[in-house]
Amino acid sequence: MKKTAIAAALSIAMGAGAAHAATMTSATFTMLDSTGGTVGTDTTVTGSIGGGTFSVASTTPFFGTQWTAHSGTTFGPGTYTIDTIEGGVYTGVEVGAGQVGGHILFDWGSTTDIDVVMVWDVACSGGSCTYISTDGVATNPANPDGIRGYGMIDGAFPDFNANFDFTVPDTAPVPVPAAVWLFGSGLLGLVGVARRRKAA
């Protein structure tokens, strides 16, 4: 029982600084048509990002119809293939250094699970981080194409680009102090000594 308590305390201490979702302090949803023209903007968006997920929501209708979004995920640098709910595939989606990729399902009225893919340029300064959707690189749909975001390949808005831009407090992980690691290794040493004494 004591060993379990010590292990739990050690685990909690060493897990300090784990990533938590940061609430967006400002956010904007912008829909661009296939020529890059703005067809809708919503500055009442709320949401959060962190721990490999993100969420956005608004009470403002888009084209007279309420929208919601769900199942948002984020991903770091690399090249990705993203299968859509309705059978299309985003291929060769590139996320570079200083960028974060995102995929979320957008519901508009009775049309559900419209895939939205974004790659944000992330810049942090003065205690906050801004995420700005870019004209990212992909094989399908062919990008860059001079329009921010990736054209949607399913749902009610084919070839339209949905972009969510936002600001969050800078919640960079706090490094675990060396003293915690030293304390943890000392505890493990004491457990080993106690085991030897018990065995003798």
**The pLDDT of residue 93:** 97
- What span, in angstroms and rounded, lies between the C-alpha atoms of 5 and 49? 33
Coil vs helix vs strand at 195: helix
Identify residue 24 by its one-letter amino acid code: M
Bridge partners (DSSP) of residue 99 are 121
Model pLDDT for residues 102-121, shown as the tens digit of each residue: 999 999 999 999 999 999 99
Model pLDDT for residues 148-186, shown as the tens digit of each residue: 999 999 988 999 999 999 999 987 554 445 555 556 666
Q: Radius of gyration (Cα) for the chain, nearest Å?
A: 22
The listed range with the strongest mean pLDDT (15-19, 61-65, 94-98, 196-200) is 94-98
- What span, in angstroms and rounded, lies between the C-alpha atoms of 93 and 81? 6
Q: How large is the average pLDDT for residues 5-20?
A: 45
**The pLDDT of residue 61:** 93
85 contacts 115 by C-beta, under 8 angstroms: yes
- What span, in angstroms and rounded, lies between the C-alpha atoms of 176 and 173? 9
Q: Which of 82-91, 159-168, 172-181, 188-197 has the lowest mean pLDDT?
A: 172-181
Model pLDDT for residues 23-69, shown as the tens digit of each residue: 999 999 999 999 999 999 999 999 999 999 999 999 999 989 999 99
- What span, in angstroms and rounded, lies between the C-alpha atoms of 132 and 135? 10
Got the DSSP string for 60-92? S-BTTB-EEEEEEEEE-SEEEEEE-TTS-EEEE
**The pLDDT of residue 197:** 72
- What span, in angstroms and rounded, lies between the C-alpha atoms of 197 and 65? 72
DSSP conformation class of 185:
H
**The pLDDT of residue 3:** 45
pTM here? 0.76
Task: Report the chain's terminal Cα–Cα distance, integer Å.
Answer: 20
